[in-house]
Amino acid sequence: AMDRDSRPPFRDDSVRGEHAYDPHASPTEMRRLSGGLAGLYTEPALALDFGTYRPRDVLTFPANKDRTWRLPTELDPVRLMHNAIRAEVTKFEALLFKLGDAKLSGWQIQCIKDWWVGHRDHVVNHHAMEDRTLHPYVRSRVHVPVEFQASHDQLACMVRTVNRAICNRHFTRASELVLVWHGYRTSLYPLLAEEEAILIPLTRAYFTPEEYGAKIGEILRSTPKLAMGSLLHHLQGGKEGAMGFLVRYGFEWTAWYSWAHAARTQYRENMESKLASLLVGAPVTRRHKDDLRILKTLKPLELNRRLMLSPMASADVSALVFSQMATGRWLLDVEWGFSQMDGVDTSRVVQAERERLIV
């Protein structure tokens, strides 16, 4: 196996690669202990591995639909939904580092709080949709041995921790939120990777594009407006890309003019504009992507090296991150990031982090 120091660190656009060295257990053993889940190293499900993924009714619904698919997996709707969430988390973390240890004014603090509430509702609603609709739909045709509910529950604990840090405690500097936000991102990314690695191959094996598209259309019609706006905003291709996406999942092309364009605009005004305001140092409202180009200056920060380079289930990552933040040890995992924040008093940040984790 490749030595850790010789491996390039994972960045925001990273996907799974060859298994990282682990001194305590082999990747195969780690996957066995975690029920097949290994964070960013979770291997794609093999639909024809009937010993692991047992068909509910092999005669009625055989695992042979993958040949009917033309849409690349990069454009799978679940991956696109996840991309929107990843983009929000990544931009906000980069913004916190950029704001650094400077004292925030009242409007800036409120801006951070308002943005967080929008993102929090987006993530909570997305995982509720998966638990209520999408995952049971996939399991209706194939037995999936891994259970994502535990991962969702662990991430929910992290979301509540972030919520306490932002909404229920007093903060005056962005640096006070860095540790808890990096812990949240470190917990979120492996979960999204696990879901994509397991569910996307299975949906393509057991459902035709038409069947799956109808279910996705049903999900999109019940998606909250702000979450839908986030999805449309982060799609590639602008207006044409958004219209093509909607038509693919059963919407009339007029949907763009009747509600979809308004949803994307509302997202830009209520979410992206807040990030832009914090960057320029004054409240602004932006409706067009060209007016939000300043957000491109936010560069993704490296994911936590020690945890992301270990084949560990996302639920275990979340539990470990939470326990380390409670003791202050989490700083040891992210102190490299403070080099980007001039003048940060790390001892003060750690003490503030401990106080935030006290329920």
Tokens 């401990």 locate to: 354
Contact 96, 279 (CB under 8 A): no
Calculate the CA 346 to chain-centre distance.
Answer: 27
Residue 357 has a pLDDT of: 43
Residue 236 has a pLDDT of: 93
195-225 core/surface letters (b: 16 or more CB in 10 A; e: else)? bbbbbbbbbbbbbebebbbebbeebbeebbe
Tokens 């949907």 locate to: 255
User: Residue 247 pairs with which residues in a beta bridge?
Assistant: none
Tokens 């993958």 locate to: 66
Whole-angstrom distance, CA of residue 187 vs CA of residue 197:
16
Residue by residue, DSSP assigns 296-332 as GG-PPPPPPHHHHTS---HHHHHHHHHHHHHHTTHHH
Residue 245 has a pLDDT of: 97
Question: What are the pLDDT tens digits along the chain (359 aa)?
Answer: 334 343 333 333 333 322 232 334 444 544 443 347 888 889 999 999 998 999 999 999 999 999 999 999 999 999 999 999 999 999 999 999 999 999 999 999 999 999 999 999 999 999 999 999 999 999 999 999 888 988 999 999 999 999 999 998 889 999 999 989 999 999 999 999 999 999 999 999 999 999 999 999 999 999 999 999 999 999 999 999 999 999 999 999 999 999 999 999 999 999 999 999 999 999 999 999 999 999 999 988 887 777 776 788 898 888 888 888 877 666 555 544 444 444 445 445 445 544 544 44
Backbone angles phi, psi at 222, to 5 degrees: -105, 5
Residue 321 has a pLDDT of: 87
Residue 4 has a pLDDT of: 37
